[in-house]
């Protein structure tokens, strides 16, 4: 589990001790080198929240005991949002993951002689099925709703085709450059994906053609004087932020009269499910999506079983 979007909450304010601040700075430099910017920001944010908790109790970072961490964990379970609701189990697990990561760093760098977080247990997370998956017909309606008579229309069609062909994470697609695309070989190179790993993914013929049209006919018209290096450009030639990409996807879902809550990540779930139903090997899907663990990919087998159960319930003489 890697944090990416910190959940803001009330915390103690004030400076930490010089010793703790120095260790925190070294930790921050390490995560910046090893992780993507958003992930590194999450690690630093939650680590600082924990350090402020220590400061309020007069505990130095290099003097933390297992008992201190158990007290922090108990308080974390009872912490409430401003509206009085408890934080989710996922949030609790994220904070504790960062705490364990922090002490693992300190132990491996020999800043502490014993890791007090080695026995810290995370709360169990329920493996939830993807909430929204598009049908093949819904995907085709979305693709067809992108008008290809304007530069932005060609861009949007290429974006949708790329999402559906590759199942890229939105942050991965946003950081693509023209040099990552080979439309002749129909291959896309993802540089520094999640876990800072590169991978090559195949493109469908339709996605390769849409990208070729975009690169030749549309992108030169979107480039402005500062010439942003990214593959997909905003209307004024700048970086196309993840939030804008999600707005684009939602706009075409609305044009296609799809009432589901569709995001860029919906395509990722959809691609995996469609490939699995087409009898693709689950390990091939794992490579395509860039999953570190096969267990993450196996979640989609539960989607197919759920669909099969519904078919049995509706169609089998003894299913009702």
Domain spans, the chain: 18-108, 136-315
The CATH label, of 1.20.120.1810, 3.30.460.10, 1.20.120.1770, 1.10.443.10, for the domain at 136-315 is 1.10.443.10
What lies within 8 Å, CB to CB, of 209 at 6+ separation is 183
Q: Which of 62, 54, 46 is nearest to 14 (CA)?
A: 54
Q: Choose between 13 and 149: higher pLDDT.
A: 149
Distance CA 292, CA 297 (A): 9
- Per residue in 190-240, pLDDT (tens digit) is 886 555 567 888 888 899 999 999 999 999 998 875 677 899 998 888 888
- Domain formed by 18-108, architecture: Orthogonal Bundle (1.10)
Q: Choose between 256 and 85: higher pLDDT.
A: 256
pTM, to two decimals: 0.63
Q: Choose between 5 and 262: higher pLDDT.
A: 262
Q: What is the rounded average pLDDT of the residues 279-290?
A: 76
- Per residue in 153-185, pLDDT (tens digit) is 999 999 999 999 888 888 899 989 999 999 998
- In this model, does residue 10 exceed pLDDT 50? no
Residues carrying an active site annotation: 169, 194, 265, 268, 291, 300
- In this model, does residue 148 exceed pLDDT 80? no
**What's residue 81's pLDDT?**
76
**What's residue 300's pLDDT?**
59
- In this model, does residue 246 exceed pLDDT 50? yes
């Amino acid at each position: 589990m890697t944090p990416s979007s910190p959940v803001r909450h009330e915390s103690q304010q004030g400076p930490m001790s010089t010793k703790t601040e120095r260790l925190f700075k070294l930790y921050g430099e390490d995560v910046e080198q090893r992780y993507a910017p958003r992930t590194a920001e999450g690690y630093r944010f939650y680590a600082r929240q924990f350090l402020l908790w220590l400061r309020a109790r007069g505990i130095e970072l290099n003097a933390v005991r297992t008992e201190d961490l158990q007290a922090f964990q108990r308080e974390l379970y009872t912490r409430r949002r401003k509206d009085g609701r408890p934080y989710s189990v996922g949030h609790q697990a994220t904070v504790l993951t960062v705490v364990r990561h922090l002490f693992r760093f300190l132990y491996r760098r020999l800043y502490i002689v014993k890791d007090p977080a080695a026995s810290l247990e995370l709360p169990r997370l329920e493996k939830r099925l993807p909430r929204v998956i598009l049908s093949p017909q819904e995907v085709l309606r979305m693709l067809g709703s992108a008008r290809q008579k304007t530069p932005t229309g060609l861009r949007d069609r290429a974006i949708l085709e790329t999402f559906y062909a590759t199942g890229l994470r939105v942050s991965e697609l946003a950081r693509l450059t023209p040099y990552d695309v080979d439309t002749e070989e129909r291959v896309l190179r993802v540089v520094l994906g999640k876990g800072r790993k590169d991978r090559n993914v195949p493109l469908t013929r339709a996605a390769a053609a849409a990208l070729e049209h975009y690169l030749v006919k549309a992108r030169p018209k979107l480039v402005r004087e500062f010439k942003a290096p990214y593959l997909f450009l905003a209307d004024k030639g700048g970086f196309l932020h993840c939030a804008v990409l999600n707005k684009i996807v939602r706009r075409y879902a609305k044009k296609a009269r799809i009432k589901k809550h569709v995001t860029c990540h919906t395509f990722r779930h959809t691609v995996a499910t469609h490939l699995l139903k087409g009898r693709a090997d689950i390990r091939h899907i794992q490579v395509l999506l860039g999953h570190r663990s096969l267990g993450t990919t196996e979640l989609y087998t539960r989607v197919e079983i759920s669909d099969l159960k519904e078919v049995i319930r509706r169609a089998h003489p003894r299913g009702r």
